[in-house]
Amino acid sequence: MPAGFEADRVFEMEGKLTQMRCKNRCHDEVYPNQKAVLAMTEEEVNGRVPKELLPKCPKCGGDMEVNWGEMSSFTETKNWKEKAARYQEFIQNLHGKKLVILEFGIGWRNQMIKAPLMQLAAVEPQASYITFNKGEIYIPEEIKEKSIGVDGNLTVALKEIRKGRID
């Protein structure tokens, strides 16, 4: 359960660093990588690991890599597509309602996450957009009037919000 949420209610649009897939893209399944990562960590010397510990595809024998949005191999699996559809349905059900979009620690370079949230804020008349990021606040002009940027330590900011105050 990711951070205490039901797994089927969490949409990780960039994939997961804890999953790997075939670099050759011979199929679209993803696999957990925690055991492989721990084994490599235990044997790592000067940033190198024994070749036999590098994960291989169970189908074609090719190399595996992290299934993440920044990697060339990010794949939209059946599960990812189902979660994306549920997310879109969730967004459609919010249309016209009061909405606060909270964005935590997402830099301006990460448009895979930022862009859909900013677009949502732009098209929803009752939406507010609040972004928290230390040293890097990016709010486009079209949503500036309905946005707040909190520049600082996220832990401190969340404690202040809990107390009911923020600068």
CA neighbor of 138 nearest in space, from 126, 147, 146, 128: 147
Question: Tell me, what amino acid is at 100?
Answer: V
Residue 93: its H or E element: helix 78-94
Query: In sequence order, which residues have a C-beta less than 8 Å from that of residue 75 and are 6 or more positions away?
Result: 15, 21, 25, 28, 30, 67
Contact criterion met (CB below 8 Å) for 83 and 8: yes
Per DSSP, the three-state class of 76 is coil
pLDDT by residue, tens only, the chain of 167 residues: 456 778 777 888 887 788 898 989 898 888 999 999 999 999 999 999 999 999 999 999 999 998 877 655 566 777 788 888 999 999 999 999 999 999 998 888 888 889 999 999 999 999 999 999 999 999 999 999 999 999 999 898 888 888 876 55
- Classify the C-alpha dihedral 41-69-101-137 as positive or negative: positive
pTM of the model: 0.71
